[in-house]
Amino acid sequence: MINQKILENVGDMAKQYHSASPYPHIVIDNFLWENVLESCLEEMINYDDYCSHGDTSMSKVQMNKFFFPSGNDDYTLEQMKENAPFVHSTLCYLQSNPALSFLSSLTGIENLQGDDIFLGAGAHKVTNGGKLAIHTDFNQNWNTNLYRRINLLLYMNKNWKEEYGGELELWNTDLSSCAKKIMPIFNRVVIFTTFNKSYHGHPTPMILPENIARYSMALYYYTKEPPVNENVEWRPVTWQMVE
């Protein structure tokens, strides 16, 4: 499913990845076969079983975010398989051996593993007023005890307009400022190394017309061994209230 030209140029992309600022990352357009992604987007728009945290205490850091599966039970995973088969197949492909091989070549991180229940990952939908505060992610999967190493965010939004907002922001490791903003356009993927200072989010509430939402898929990749020079103690999502 990955665009053949991307696979052929992974060596040059690896150089871009490691030299990127504010931390190792890459933005790639036309990442997957477009016809597959078209089917995924249709399923995501029509899906009726999105989950949400439903916790008002989260309103300062996260608003109007919905997702599937829940990452906590088999029921929502089975619902996704039945009602969004293209989404499920695409998520599974992005954890398959060919995809893991590509990601290892890109990032230099060997022996990557996926997560069969998509803890915190999967298909995401954010509606009008939605936001996600700048944060760093949990560093260890509490179901598998594997160490989180890479995020892959695949955007699904056609005809996205700048005035909507919703750009992914990558912040400097000292939180002094936003270093990069990335529009969440259709078939654009952002891949980055996760560590205790990989600050990111889309913190400004979006202004969206009726019937428009921000769609994406998220995959997280792990290794059995922790990254070198990282604290191996479990770290939860760490929110940063920055402007």
Which CATH number is correct for 4-239, 3.10.110.10, 2.60.120.620, 3.20.20.150, 3.40.47.10?
A: 2.60.120.620
The pLDDT value recorded for residue 220 is 98
Letter for the amino acid at 200? H
Q: Which helix (H) or strand (E) covers residue 81, if one does?
A: helix 74-83
Residue 47 is classified by DSSP as -
30 in Cβ contact with 187 (< 8 Å): yes
7 in Cβ contact with 102 (< 8 Å): yes
The pLDDT value recorded for residue 73 is 81
**Pairing between β-strand 188-193 and β-strand 200-202 as defined by DSSP bridges:** unpaired
Ramachandran category for residue 62: left, alpha or beta (phi over 0 → left; psi -120 to 50 → alpha): beta
The reply to whether the predicted model has a pTM over 0.95 is yes
- Triad 30, 173, 151: Cα angle to 5°: 35
Residues in the chain: 243
Helix, coil or strand: residue 116: coil
Among the listed residues 158, 172, 171, the one whose alpha carbon sits nearest the alpha carbon of residue 202: 171
Among the listed residues 178, 241, 211, 45, the one whose alpha carbon sits nearest the alpha carbon of residue 124: 45
The pLDDT value recorded for residue 242 is 83
Strand ranges, E, within the chain:
25-29, 62-68, 122-136, 147-155, 168-171, 178-182, 188-193, 200-202, 214-223, 238-239
Measuring CA to CA, how many Å separate 10 from each of 104, 187, 194?
10, 18, 20
Tokens of 226: 């922790």
Which is it for the CA torsion 187, 192, 196, 199, positive or negative?
A: negative
Among the listed residues 71, 224, 29, 234, the one whose alpha carbon sits nearest the alpha carbon of residue 139: 234
Cα–Cα distance for residue pair 78/75, rounded to 1 Å: 5
The pLDDT value recorded for residue 53 is 83
Residues of the chain with pLDDT under 70: 243
